[in-house]
């Protein structure tokens, strides 16, 4: 039956009236295709020492740079083989100076199978896709002395486009893996090393849970230099107060939260905000249309607008996402009243732009070089509370 539905969706796209049909019924067809119609079955619990196994990590200290996707360093468009960029772009170098802080990064959803709620840890397709995502996103933190990126039994894509209670069960199961990985991470780094917790999309969701359940109002809060739950909508009113850290108000502030969600003009965020508006926030109250957190990635400030000339480098990927180059000055950024980050006319970044001019897949690549600079600046400014 599901294969039949896939075929129907494909045929609809091919017919002449596809744009009209998808505009009217796109959300329904997406839900039918990707939301599992099976009962949620909780994955078996991981062994207590599961994350001692290096194979449970995409990135961690001790891996060679060639095998660690988070250590990838893109070059600027037009750069020479020696890595020299044409002015006014900054000059990337293969052997960058690393700063003393540890990053725990949670990759976004890479599992789209609608037959079950959580991805098997050995699913080759989703794991290969996740590795590419780590290469394009976690690499923005590559100036850190340590980067840790766990593999986990992520919730399937369909869990984010439904309010079925089973979707939350799938997210809880995925979070239990992340929690175990985070515990191992904390046990493995020096006690005085600053910590950055980051993630994108589903990874951003898990970052907010770590902040709420493991960081806020605990001694660990004094060690977290920054948090980047990018691409996950955070209600300023109903979610942010539970996270233990404030929103970043200025570019020189550490110990705060940076997040944004990218849309081109004209933005149509209906499906992106569906669960956000219909499910309660962390305070138990309905989020409704409360504004989401938007820290402008070009200025580092809460809200506001910035021209493309402040964009130090957008990571423009190749079609297969395996590599890409940095292009400076190509994409502006403006925080709208509802908290969406508007990037102007749709830039050509590839085939993975979502309906409604949703540049969710490219949230980090759009501002890769700015984020690469941002985290170093903020960790340097951060001071643990006495």
Is pLDDT above 90 for 320?
no
Is pLDDT above 60 for 331?
yes
Q: What is the pTM of this model?
A: 0.89
User: Could you tell me the pLDDT band of residue 30, with boundaries at 50, 70 and 90?
Assistant: low
Residue 28 pLDDT: 54
386 or 198: which carries more pLDDT confidence?
Answer: 198
Q: What is the DSSP letter of 361?
A: G
Residue 309 pLDDT: 98
Is pLDDT above 80 for 106?
yes
Q: What is the average pLDDT score of the chain? A: 89
Is pLDDT above 80 for 17?
no
Is pLDDT above 60 for 1?
no
Is pLDDT above 70 for 362?
yes
User: Could you tell me the pLDDT band of residue 191, with boundaries at 50, 70 and 90?
Assistant: very high
User: Could you tell me the pLDDT band of residue 271, with boundaries at 50, 70 and 90?
Assistant: confident
Lowest mean pLDDT among 90-104, 251-265, 314-328: 90-104
Residue 34 pLDDT: 82
152-176 average pLDDT score: 96
Residue 284 CB neighbours (<10 A): 8
Parallel, antiparallel or unpaired: strands 341-342 and 333-335: antiparallel
Residue 37 pLDDT: 87
What is the CB-side half-sphere exposure of residue 26 using CA atoms within 13 A?
A: 16
Residue 33 pLDDT: 74
Is pLDDT above 80 for 178?
yes
365-374 pLDDT per residue, tens = 999 999 999 9
Q: Which of 359, 374, 43, 82 is nearest to 225 (CA)?
A: 374
Residue 386 pLDDT: 56
Which pair of tokens denotes residue 163?
């309010």
Domain ranges of the chain: 35-381
User: Could you tell me the pLDDT band of residue 2, with boundaries at 50, 70 and 90?
Assistant: low
Is pLDDT above 50 for 105?
yes
Is pLDDT above 90 for 276?
yes
248-261 pLDDT per residue, tens = 999 999 999 999 99
358-370 average pLDDT score: 97
Residues 6+ apart with CB under 8 A from 181: 51, 56, 57, 104, 148, 150, 152
158-186 average pLDDT score: 96
User: Could you tell me the pLDDT band of residue 241, with boundaries at 50, 70 and 90?
Assistant: very high
26 or 151: which carries more pLDDT confidence?
Answer: 151
End-to-end CA distance of the chain: 61
Q: Cα separation of 149 and 59, whole Å? A: 5
Is pLDDT above 90 for 94?
no
Residue 29 pLDDT: 55
Residue 79 pLDDT: 54
Is pLDDT above 60 for 14?
no
172 three-state secondary structure? helix
Is pLDDT above 60 for 8?
no
189-206 average pLDDT score: 97
Q: Cα separation of 262 and 282, whole Å? A: 23
Q: What is the DSSP letter of 273?
A: T
Whether 312 and 373 have beta carbons less than 8 Å apart is answered as yes
User: Could you tell me the pLDDT band of residue 193, with boundaries at 50, 70 and 90?
Assistant: very high
Whether 315 and 372 have beta carbons less than 8 Å apart is answered as no
Lowest mean pLDDT among 11-25, 193-207, 283-297, 304-318: 11-25
């Amino acid at each position: 039956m599901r294969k039949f539905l896939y075929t129907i969706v494909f045929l609809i796209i091919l017919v002449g009236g596809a744009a009209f049909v998808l505009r009217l019924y796109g959300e329904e067809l997406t839900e039918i295709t990707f939301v599992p119609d099976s009962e949620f079955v909780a994955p078996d619990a991981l062994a207590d020492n599961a994350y001692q196994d290096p194979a449970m990590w995409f990135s961690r200290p001790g891996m060679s740079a060639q095998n660690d996707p988070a250590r990838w360093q893109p070059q600027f468009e037009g750069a020479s083989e020696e890595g020299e960029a044409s002015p006014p772009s900054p000059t990337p170098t293969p052997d960058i100076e690393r700063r003393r802080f540890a990053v725990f990064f949670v990759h976004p959803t890479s599992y789209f199978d609608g037959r079950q709620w959580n991805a098997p840890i050995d699913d080759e397709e989703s794991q290969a896709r996740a590795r590419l995502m780590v290469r394009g996103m976690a690499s923005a933190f590559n100036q850190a002395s340590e980067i840790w990126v766990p593999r986990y039994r992520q919730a399937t894509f369909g869990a984010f486009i439904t309010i079925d209670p089973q979707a939350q069960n799938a997210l809880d199961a995925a979070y239990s893996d992340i929690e175990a990985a985070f515990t191992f991470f904390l046990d493995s780094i020096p006690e005085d090393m600053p910590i950055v917790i980051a993630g994108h999309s589903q990874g951003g969701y898990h970052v907010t849970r770590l902040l709420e359940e493991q960081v806020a109002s605990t001694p660990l809060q004094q060690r977290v230099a920054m948090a980047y739950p990018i691409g996950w909508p955070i209600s300023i009113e109903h979610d942010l107060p539970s996270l233990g850290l404030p929103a970043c108000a200025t570019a020189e502030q550490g110990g705060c939260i940076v997040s944004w969600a990218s849309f081109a003009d004209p933005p149509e965020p209906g499906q992106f905000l569906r669960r956000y508006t219909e499910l309660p926030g962390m305070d138990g109250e309905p989020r409704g249309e409360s504004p989401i957190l938007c820290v402008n990635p070009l200025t580092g400030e809460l809200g506001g607008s910035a021209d493309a000339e402040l964009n130090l480098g957008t990571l423009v990927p190749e079609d297969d996402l395996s590599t890409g180059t940095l292009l400076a000055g190509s994409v502006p950024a403006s925080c709208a009243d509802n908290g969406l980050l508007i990037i102007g006319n749709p830039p050509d970044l590839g085939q993975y732009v979502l309906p409604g001019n949703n540049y969710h897949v490219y949230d980090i690549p759009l501002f890769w070089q700015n984020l690469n600079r941002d985290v170093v600046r903020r960790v340097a400014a951060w001071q643990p509370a006495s």
